[in-house]
Homo-oligomer: A and B are copies of this chain.
Amino acid sequence: MRQYKKDNPLSYALGMTLVFELIQSHPKQVREVYFHTKHRPNEHTEKLIRQLNDYHIPYQEQDKIFNILSPKDNCFVIAAFEKYESSFSKGKSHIVLVEPENAGNLGTIIRTALGFGIDHLVLIGKHVDFFDPRVIRASMGAIFHVRIVTYPSFEAYKMDYSSQHFYPFMLQTNQILGSAPIESPYSLIFGPESQGLDDGFLSIGTPIRIAHNKAIDSLNITSAISIALYEATKQEFISKGTHHE
């Protein structure tokens, strides 16, 4: 057993919350569950072990994997799972990330998207490994409830989803978010953290800018995506009143 690597066929959910989220959504992917010898059994442990028995998932006590994957953390349970592929349903809205670089950002974006009801994510080009345990942790388990597909280029994605309404978010336009409605099914498209989308996206769909003043160069990507999701889904939430399921 070694440090997690991108080409590893397995990844890991660290901590009780993530392990439950994983088993709830992808029980057949779970290969084994590990308990630290310092783990103190509680009602969550009992519930977890019932689920592991129901799904015939093996489990054992072992400290080595904790030392490798989580040496500093207060983590006492880890699930090893086989990575899986997702496919998209038709007619859904998407978040599209071109060359996302940062694991923590990607996890946060996945979580925020799920909160606003967008569970179809597209990663274009060279991208951070979305099964990296740091992404899983930053998503707080939300990654197990979304579908992620990858494309080598935006052109390849666009060919498969030509009926989407494309909204590239970029500073090089004067069309401001909120000044016109976002039409469904939409694809909200964001560039890499370090530089944003290039000018080529000015000819894709309806480029949009989130208005802010010149005191800052740009919003960070998680702020920008949060705002875009809020604006795109707002009418739906307001018309439904309180929490929608």
Chain A residues near B (Cβ < 8 Å): 108, 111-112, 114-117, 140, 142, 145, 174, 176, 178-179, 210-217, 219-220, 222-224, 226-227, 230-231, 234, 237-238, 240-245
Complex interface: chain B residues within 8 A of A108 (CB): 220, 223
For the complex, what is the distance from the CA of A142 to the CA of B215, rounded to whole Å? 8
Query: Closest residue of chain B to A210, judged by CB?
Result: B230
Within 8 Å CB of A230, what residues of B? Answer: 210, 227, 230-231
Within the complex, the shortest CB–CB distance from A13 to chain B, in Å, comes to 17
| CB <8 Å contact, B114 and A216 | yes
CB distance from A46 to the nearest CB of B (A): 23
27 contacts between A and B (CB under 8 A): A108-B220, A111-B216, A112-B216, A112-B220, A112-B223, A114-B213, A115-B213, A115-B216, A116-B212, A142-B215, A174-B241, A174-B242, A176-B237, A176-B238, A176-B242, A178-B234, A211-B234, A211-B242, A211-B243, A212-B237, A213-B243, A213-B245, A214-B245, A219-B226, A220-B222, A222-B222, A230-B230
Contact A115 B219 (CB under 8 A): yes
How distant is the Cα of A132 from the Cα of B159 in the complex, in angstroms?
A: 48
- Contact, CB under 8 Å: B245 / A111: no
* Residue numbers in B under 8 Å from A111 (CB-CB): 216, 220
| Residues B215 and A115 in contact, CB atoms below 8 Å apart | yes
What's the minimum C-beta distance from A242 to chain B, rounded to whole angstroms?
A: 5
A119 closest partner in B (C-beta): B215
Question: Closest residue of chain B to A220, judged by CB?
Answer: B108
How many whole Å from A97's CB to the nearest CB in chain B? 16
